A and B are shown apart, each in its own frame.
Chain A
């Protein structure tokens, strides 16, 4: 699973801390997701997508 969170964050001038606070997780979790070390739950993925006003598919990509 890969994602474009870093890109969308940069486009909105948002820090990892700000995004973490908006989706109720720790900054470490955002770092881990951005580095593709942790796959978020569906609920968290939806929350992140909504913060950026995008669909989940635009932000997260499933690779076999």
Chain B
């Protein structure tokens, strides 16, 4: 199997999962949606395992890392901004629901930052960061 064939299989599987989820939404059937997603994931997992071609290398990992960081920054800033809006408008309009939503989003932001810091520290230690002084 070459890379083009793998890409074709991936597109077909994604189409299958999308179609299944769409049908599940129309018929309001969560089991069908879950089954479609799980079958798609398992199928792709086995295809990846069986294929001999290299799908991930240092460049792909580099891109994935940068994309993940960008996603984290945009998502965290958006959630933080939304939480401020909900907190402010909730207090101004005396709406407890808005305020609660704002508090939840604030904690989500904090959780996201904490998780990033922890995973950064862990990965940094894995790649040799140390507090020891140099000789």
Contact = CB atoms under 8 A, between A and B. Distances in A.
Interface of A: 20-21, 24-29, 32, 38, 40-41, 44
Interface string B31-74: 00000000000000000000001110111101000000000000
Contacts of A38: 59, 62
B3 A27 contact: yes
Chain B at the A interface: SS class:
helix
A29 B3 CA distance: 13
A25 B58 contact: yes
Nearest to B52: A21
B54 A41 contact: no
Q: Chain B, interface size: which category?
A: under 10
A18 B60 CA distance: 19
15 contacts: A21-B54, A24-B54, A24-B57, A25-B57, A25-B58, A26-B3, A26-B54, A26-B55, A26-B57, A28-B59, A29-B58, A38-B59, A38-B62, A40-B58, A44-B58
A41 B3 contact: no
B59 A25 contact: yes
B65 to A, nearest CB: 13
Nearest to A33: B59
Contacts of B54: 20-21, 24-26
